[in-house]
Amino acid sequence: MNPAHLHLIVNHIPIFTTVIGIFILIWGMYKSNSSIRNIAFVLFIFGAVGSYVAIETGESAEDIVEEVAAVSHDAIHDHEEAAELSLWFAIAMGLLSIGALAAKQLNIRFETGLHIVILVTALITAGILMYVAYEGGEIMHQEAYTEQVQSGN
């Protein structure tokens, strides 16, 4: 397994943990169940760590993919820039989630407001992560970005 393959495996972790965490957080807020919300916060923390790992494996994958003749260096650059932005939002989401877990233990009153802030941050993070995935797909999967007209003879 080379670094490019490892990056393709790892880069899905932040997307799925964030999206699944959003649904779990909404459910936990609706049910007023702190255990369910805590599961979402743990997923968001995993998503933040996964974002960091994806960035690191992406650096190694870039060296391999740049050698492929058909690869656009502009596409790699755009993907990398979007990934760096998503990392900052994922880190914020993870740190806020750690704060929410601590707030529950400390019995802090602004807990509901913090949950809403985390939900909004997670939604923004998910949107950016999906854009990063779109940009990454343009690097090597041109078949997914061209429209073909099929004639039905």
User: The tokens of 115 are what?
Assistant: 């949950």
pLDDT tens-digit map of 52-108: 999 998 888 887 877 775 777 788 888 889 999 999 999 999 999 999 999 877 777
Give the pTM. 0.85
Per-residue pLDDT band at 2 (split at 50, 70, 90): confident
* Alpha-carbon gap, residue 143 to 20, rounded angstroms: 28
What does the alpha-carbon distance between residue 54 and residue 8 come to, in Å, rounded to a whole number? 9
